[in-house]
């Protein structure tokens, strides 16, 4: 992470982790490499600076001493090699901007003005471990802001490895009067607009470092998806959906067909049961008084087959009348006995029809 940055033959500024187009500082975007993900943050540090006899400082502190830098809000970063950090910035060959309230980091990406207050160079590590920078020049507005004591503190914007929390570079520095507010990423006071933007980015499942263009693109995709869904709802594909009226008609037809089939099957079963029962009565294998019992048995699931199996092996239990088909000697029909009358009732036969059959 301590590799010095340099300029390639393609006109790109190399920061040791990724290539960034010329004109863009190497800490102005998140980058991923084999060494980890590098993120940018404005450190929550309050670095007061002293003025000289002329009223303007000649050098300012950018990072305090120590391997571990802890902000007042409790967050911490590691700085084991401050010399590498200074060399990385010096190696770009570009002066580091000192602006007002981090305009370079916050406003410039939106296309808004981000004027400099001063230009920094010659970063070095002091004997106590602090990283300082020399003031190359002040702008009139920056000079007035310091001499009039409009701003008193310095807040650096740094890049760090998201996995190890090791600081790898400094992107810019800003004059500020609120250098250590308990904010998630940027060490400046959030406006209502910033808060609303963060809420919007969260709803869009975007990170807080997402740009407005990314947010607008996400909203555009949602609008397209919504319109597609509305169109699909109005004209759904016929291979997956059918009109409600057609569905009701088909459902009614299916119910009617099922009812007809069930009725036909019941009538067929009743006919088969009646035939089997009457045959058993005729063969004398069941008593007429048991007809209702056996009829109910046959209507149960598998009952008819069980009855037929039973009748096939059952002996004859009702004796013959003894008439043997003989005609009355006087040629006159005689009255039926009680058993014959019961048979007529069970078979729904008149006495005349029974006598004709018996004779």
Look at residue 307 and tell me if it is in a domain.
yes
Residues of the chain with pLDDT under 50: 1-35, 44-48, 50-53, 180-191, 330
Residue 3 in tokens: 């590799």
Question: 81 and 33 in one domain?
Answer: yes
Residue 224 lies in a domain: no
Rounded to whole angstroms, how far apart are CA atoms 274 and 280? Answer: 10
Kindly state whether residues 303 and 339 are assigned to the same domain: no
**Integer Cα distance of 150 and 168 in angstroms:** 31
Q: Say what the pTM is.
A: 0.41
Closest Cα partner for 184 from 71, 328, 24? Answer: 71
29 with 135, same domain: the answer is: yes
Q: What is the largest CA-CA distance in the chain?
A: 162
**Cβ pair 158, 27 in contact under 8 A:** yes
Residue 47 lies in a domain: yes
Q: How many CB atoms lie within 10 A of CB 34?
A: 5
**Same domain (yes/no): 76, 28:** yes
Q: Measured between alpha carbons, how far is 187 from 158 in angstroms, rounded to an integer?
A: 11
Same-domain check for residues 338 and 248: no
Nearby residues of 159 by Cβ (< 8 Å), 6 or more positions away: 26, 27, 38, 39, 40, 41, 167, 168, 169, 170, 171
Give residue 187's pLDDT. 33
Pairing verdict, β 96-100 and 167-176? parallel
Together in a domain, 174 and 189 = yes
Are 52 and 135 found together in one domain?
A: yes
Per-residue pLDDT at 284: 87
Specify burial of residue 313 (Cβ count, 10 A radius: 0-12, 13-18, 19+).
exposed
Residues 58 and 179 in one domain: yes
Total domain count for the chain? 3
Alpha helices in the chain (DSSP H): 82-91, 103-106, 140-147, 192-203, 212-234, 244-282, 291-298, 303-313, 338-347, 351-358
Whether the Cβ atoms of residue 43 and residue 68 lie closer than 8 Å to each other = no
Q: Are residues 301 and 155 in the same domain?
A: no
Asked whether residue 136 is domain-assigned, the answer is yes
Is 230 a domain residue?
A: no
Residue 4 corresponds to which tokens in the numbers above? 């010095």
**Phi and psi (nearest 5°) for 169?**
-175, 175
Domain that holds residue 259: 236-318
* 61 plus 159 within the same structural domain: yes
Q: With respect to residue 274, please indicate whether it lies within any of the assigned structural domains.
A: yes
Gap between the Cα atoms of 115 and 139, Å rounded:
9
Tell me, what's the pLDDT at 289?
87
How far is CA 349 from each of CA 273, 297, 352, 353, 354, rounded to the nearest angstrom? 18, 24, 8, 6, 6
For 243-255, b where at least 16 C-beta lie within 10 A, e where not — what string?
A: eeeeeeeeeeeee
* 311 plus 326 within the same structural domain: no
Residue 231 located in a structural domain: no
Query: Same structural domain for residues 23 and 66?
Result: yes
Residue 203 C-beta-side C-alpha neighbours within 13 Å: 10
Residues 6+ apart with CB under 8 A from 342: 288, 289
- Has residue 229 been placed in a domain? no
């Amino acid at each position: 992470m301590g590799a010095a940055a340099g300029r390639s033959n393609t006109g790109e500024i190399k920061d040791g982790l990724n290539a960034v187009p010329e004109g863009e500082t190497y800490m102005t975007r998140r980058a991923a490499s084999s060494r980890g993900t590098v993120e940018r943050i404005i450190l929550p540090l309050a670095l007061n600076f002293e003025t000289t006899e002329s009223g303007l400082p000649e050098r300012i502190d950018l990072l305090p001493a120590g391997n571990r830098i802890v902000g007042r809000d409790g967050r911490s970063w590691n700085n084991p090699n401050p010399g590498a950090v200074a060399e990385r910035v010096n190696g770009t060959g570009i002066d580091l901007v000192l602006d007002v309230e981090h305009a370079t980091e916050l406003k410039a990406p939106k296309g808004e003005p981000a004027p400099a207050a001063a230009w920094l160079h010659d970063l070095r590590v002091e004997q106590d471990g602090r990283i300082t920078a020399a003031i190359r020049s002040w702008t009139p507005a920056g000079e007035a802001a310091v001499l009039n004591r409009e701003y008193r503190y310095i807040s650096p914007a740094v890049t760090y490895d998201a996995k190890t929390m090791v600081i790898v570079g400094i992107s810019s520095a800003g004059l500020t009067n609120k250098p250590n507010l308990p904010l998630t990423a940027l060490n400046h006071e959030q406006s209502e607009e910033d808060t609303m933007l963060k809420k919007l980015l969260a709803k869009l499942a975007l990170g807080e470092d997402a740009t407005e263009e990314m947010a607008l693109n996400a909203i555009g995709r949602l609008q397209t998806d919504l319109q597609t869904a509305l169109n699909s709802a109005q004209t759904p594909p016929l291979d997956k959906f059918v009109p409600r009226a057609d569905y009701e008609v088909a459902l009614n037809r299916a119910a009617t067909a099922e009812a007809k089939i069930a009725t036909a099957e019941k009538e067929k079963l009743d006919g088969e049961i009646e035939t089997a029962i009457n045959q058993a009565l005729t063969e004398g294998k069941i008593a007429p008084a048991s007809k209702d019992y056996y009829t109910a048995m046959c209507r149960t699931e598998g009952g008819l087959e069980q009855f037929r199996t039973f009748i096939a092996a059952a002996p004859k239990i009702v004796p013959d009348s003894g008439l043997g088909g003989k005609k009355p000697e006087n040629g006159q029909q005689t009255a039926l006995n009680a058993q014959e009358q019961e048979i007529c009732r069970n078979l729904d036969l008149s006495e005349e029809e029974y006598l004709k059959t018996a004779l």
